[in-house]
Amino acid sequence: MCTVVSGSRVGHHPTLTSVNYELTLSPRSVPSTPCLSVQPPRMCIVFALRTSAHRYVTPALIYSQTQKNTEPIILEYLEHGDTGEAILAFDEIPYGSKRFMIAVIAVEIAMDHKPSHREMTSVLVSDLYGRVVTQKDIGRAFDMLLKNLSDLILDTPDAPTVLGNFIARAIADDCLPPKFVQSYKDKVECDHARQALLRADTLLSMKHGLVRLDNVWGVGGGLRPVKYLVRQMNLLLQEYLSSGDLHEAQRCLMDLEVPHFHHELVYEAVVMVIEAISGQVEEAMCRLLKILSSAIIITPDLMERGFLRVYEDMPDICLDVPLAYTVLERFVERCHKAGFLTDPVIKKMPSSLPDRDANLDLPVIGSQAQHETSALANYATEAGSTRLGYPMSCYKYRVCNQGAVHKTT
């Protein structure tokens, strides 16, 4: 590559006309003692030219270098979410007339990410406005994106809808003028671009549309109400028990974007096992928790926290499920053998009336009715012989569907 700088006369800003390793100056612009510094190959070519007026000029980056320098900043921003830090990083790069490429690259990256990242990108574009880019830059960026939709749709099938959402959100954030969409009316030949503009116009035309556009990407992650997250995790577990699809369950949990709240899934899974009183459910839930633990989707501390929450609620749970302690003990042992439950969790497991539960034999069967009948019959037999003091021949025990034990003479 070669860098060619030309200028009209000494003291005026030179301009970048082509790229090379060699630096060439027009005869009229060569100062008596130029100060030049050229970087090694495959790196951003940055140099300073000191004129007779002691002014330094840094040329703007070419397109490929602009993309190469911008993408890491945006990807890092999607991790930490600090727009201030991103702006400082952008300010260190000599974009020149290509500042609009920041918004172009940001939106293109967001199209391949989840809704929460698209929301972060909209916030970034809004914060960049007036500090790094102008309204004209943002308009130029969306103009380029509309022209590139035919290529973007190959990787993102819903690219027109996504871009329409971005345009509408930018207008709602006062980054674009309201007339932006109307200015393209009857001037767009690409069907995908028309679809994107129609989507933006529809969103802006809704009643209270500008206010609603604050949630155009939906409410994500920890912003969702706790009750909603609990309900979604419960539905996730029910669907998993129905389908047995581990990968789908894992994907649905990740889509909730609440890694700090994964202990709730553990809690719901264990409670569901206790209430089901089914060996099949125990095996399925143990398999799911093991997969999530192995993938470090549920960390050991969150796994422990979920089980400890169940331990704390056992006095209330056993009111509805008399065999709760027995089922819990068996499930905890199964999880411990699977290798993802630690010894401290095992030691903290509570036990209710160990004198009565010591000889309780609870078989692993799939039918909840048979399971309750058999277990409660054993429980009643032991209770009658040890606590009432009468021989068992004096009583016949009947186990009701509700789980209550009645005696008849």
Report the C-alpha gap between 194 and 8 in whole angstroms. Answer: 45
Query: Contact, 331 vs 270, CB < 8 A?
Result: yes
Q: Among 121-130, 294-303, 387-396, 399-408, whose mean pLDDT is lowest?
A: 387-396
Parallel, antiparallel or unpaired: strands 405-408 and 15-18: unpaired
Topology of domain 59-214, CATH: 1.25.40
Res. 404: pLDDT tops 90: no
CB neighbourhood size of 293 (10 A): 20
Topology of domain 226-348, CATH: 1.25.40
Query: Contact, 338 vs 290, CB < 8 A?
Result: yes
Cα 158 to chain centroid, rounded = 19
Per domain, the residue ranges of the chain are 59-214, 226-348
What average pLDDT is seen over the chain? 76
Tens digit of each residue's pLDDT (9 = 90 or more) over 271-309: 999 999 999 999 999 999 999 999 999 999 999 999 999
Tens digit of each residue's pLDDT (9 = 90 or more) over 335-381: 999 999 988 999 999 876 544 444 444 444 343 443 344 334 433 33
Comparison of pLDDT for 321 and 8, the residue scoring more: 321
Structure confidence at residue 62 as a pLDDT band (50, 70, 90): low
Place of tokens 């001037």: 187
Contact residues for 30 (Cβ-Cβ < 8 A; gap 6+): none
Query: Contact, 304 vs 357, CB < 8 A?
Result: no
Comparison of pLDDT for 383 and 135, the residue scoring more: 135
Structure confidence at residue 222 as a pLDDT band (50, 70, 90): low
Query: Contact, 90 vs 100, CB < 8 A?
Result: no
Contact residues for 171 (Cβ-Cβ < 8 A; gap 6+): 177, 178, 180, 181, 200, 204, 210
Q: Give the CA diameter of the chain.
A: 121
What DSSP character marks residue 133?
Answer: B
